[in-house]
Amino acid sequence: MKHSLALKILSGILLPLALASCSSGQATHASQAMTTTSSKASSSQASQSSSSAASSSSAGSSASSTTQTGAARISMIAVGDNLIHDSVMKIAQTSNSYNFAPFYTHMESYIANADISFINQESMMAGAQFGYSGWPRFNAPQQLGYTVRSLGFNIVNLANNHALDRGADGVVDNAKFWDGLGVAHIGTNENAQQQGTAAILNIKGIRVAFLGYTSSTNGIPLPSGKTWLVDMIDKTQMAADVKRAKQDADCVIVSLHWGNEFHHEYSTQQKQLAEYLASIGVDVIIGTHPHVIEPVEWITAANGHRMLVYYSLGNFISYQTKIDTMLGAMASFDIVKASDGSVTIQNAKAMPLVTHYEGLNTLEIYPLSQYTNALAARHSIKNYGKPASVSYFTGLAKSILGSFYSTGK
């Protein structure tokens, strides 16, 4: 990756932290008056956040690609659910460990080349002491986390319906694991003071705040006195969090684990929440949870603020058995800060991805543009019903993603 040295910020002091093959940023919180340096961007600098309010953001047209004189531009990609079923672990298992890296080979350049790379880490990695398992209560080997970091992901969402799969101790140990990797994460908290604070990446002088929320923890209640463990979707809380984040950042991106599983259409509740977040100044929503892709659109609030929303990016990787869950998407867009401090979102696209598996021997993610009918003929999804084909995936992707559809070329 781009750099092997990250900067860890402790009490406002910059300390070198050697991270082998690390190209990720550090996790910090806005309430601690700190920002994060991403080692993916060599021009980034770690600093204490200014107490003054950041300039208000506005979303631009996806057709615009011209950077104004004196403007800064950074690129971002985002992928959906990194969902580690038992079969995924079996394929990754070696004689004495786990190797997940081959699954992501065809995605390496897309992840590494973006200034910001986001992933929804659906399966927690709380440690071997909790035992490894897939559905219904996930806990994956921590070797996966090292792979996620080495690929170049520098912001990880942990707010999802499996956040409490290993209880309160699992939430804390999972978060501490990501802290140890030096990767910024959102959506769960190690203590009450962290609740509602944003992870901020400062890249090329553009401060991007991330917040993450989930609509469910699969019926597992938050422990009494520890409701701060997981950031739940709550308009009042979200409004306060976004307001605080906007004071410390130029752009606010919200990850939402929401919607209905296996539905390609977003729900009325999703639409209403998206419109609300647009009205309070959120710039981009990254949606996950349905395991299938949903539409992408711009929403314009009554005050004229425009927000980009990816309702669902589907799965990044999984071993599910419905053919439509094999089709995910990678969001991509640019964040541009003009010389006057205004921020726009430009070049919004969605590149379809295919999860391909063959029994318990092969598991890989392909950009749809690189997928072939020869591969599709070997896809084991045919054992569960409808066989895979390039034409089926292409037709489905185009019908849902519309003008945002991109081959990535």
- Kindly list the distances between the CA atom of residue 25 and the CA atoms of 41, 60, 107, in Å, as whole numbers in the listed order: 9, 26, 19
Confidence of residue 40 (pLDDT cuts 50, 70, 90): low
Round to whole Å and give the CA distance between 214 and 232. 5
Whether residue 238 lies inside any domain: the answer is: yes
Q: Residue range 19-47: average pLDDT?
A: 37
Model confidence band, residue 250 (pLDDT cutoffs 50, 70, 90): very high
Rounded Cα–Cα distance for residues 260 and 267 (Å): 7
> Domain holding 285: CATH number?
3.60.21.10
Q: Is the pLDDT of residue 17 over 70?
A: no
Residue 15 lies in a domain: no
* DSSP letter, residue 238: H
Q: Would you state the pLDDT for residue 386?
A: 92
Count the neighbouring beta carbons within 10 Å of the beta carbon of residue 94: 8
Q: Is residue 306 exposed (0-12), middle (13-18) or buried (19+ Cβ within 10 Å)? A: middle
In a domain, 173, yes or no: yes
Query: In this model, does residue 2 exceed pLDDT 70?
Result: no
Contact, 46 vs 36, CB < 8 A?
A: yes
Residue 1, domain member (yes or no)? no
Question: Residue 2 domain-assigned?
Answer: no
Query: For 327-337, what is the mean pLDDT?
Result: 98
Picking from 28-42, 176-190, 266-280, 395-409, which range would have the lowest pLDDT averaged per residue? Answer: 28-42
Burial-class residue 78 by CB neighbours within 10 Å (0-12, 13-18, 19+): buried
User: Which range marks the domain in which residue 29 is found?
Assistant: 23-404
Residue 57 has pLDDT above 50, yes or no: no
Domain total of the chain: 1
Q: Give domain status of residue 259, yes or no.
A: yes
DSSP 8-state class, residue 31: G
Q: Are 339 and 70 a contacting pair, CB within 8 Å?
A: yes
> pLDDT-based confidence at 33, cuts 50/70/90?
very low
Q: How far apart are CA 276 and CA 302, in angstroms?
A: 10
pLDDT, tens digit (0-9, with 9 covering 90-100), for 379-392: 999 999 999 999 99
> In the 8-state DSSP scheme, what is residue 180?
H
CA 78 to chain centroid, in Å, comes to: 5
pLDDT score, position 365: 98
Specify the pLDDT at position 29.
40
Q: Is the pLDDT of residue 367 over 70?
A: yes
Specify the pLDDT at position 147: 98
Looking up tokens 């101790």 gives 169
pLDDT of res. 409: 79
Q: What average pLDDT does this structure show over 239-267?
A: 98
CB atoms within 10 A of CB 150: 21
Per-residue model confidence (pLDDT) at position 333? 98
Does 17 reside within a domain? no
- For residue 285, give the 3-state DSSP assignment: strand
Residue pair 381/323 in contact by the 8 Å Cβ criterion = yes
pLDDT for 156-166, tens place per residue?
Answer: 999 999 999 99
Residue 58 lies in a domain: yes
Question: Would you state the pLDDT for residue 3?
Answer: 31
Classify residue 274 by its DSSP letter: H
Pick from 333, 70, 80, 330: which is nearest to 208 by CA? 333
* Count of positions (residues) in the chain: 409
Per 3-state DSSP, the chain is made up of helix, strand and coil in percentages (nearest 5) of 25, 30, 45
Give the pLDDT of residue 11: 24
Task: Please give the model's pTM, rounded to 2 decimal places.
Answer: 0.86
Instruction: Report yes or no: 49 and 63 within 8 Å, Cβ to Cβ.
Output: no
Per-residue pLDDT, 141: 98
Burial class (CB in 10 A: 0-12, 13-18, 19+), 73: middle
Q: How far apart are CA 294 and CA 81, in angstroms?
A: 14
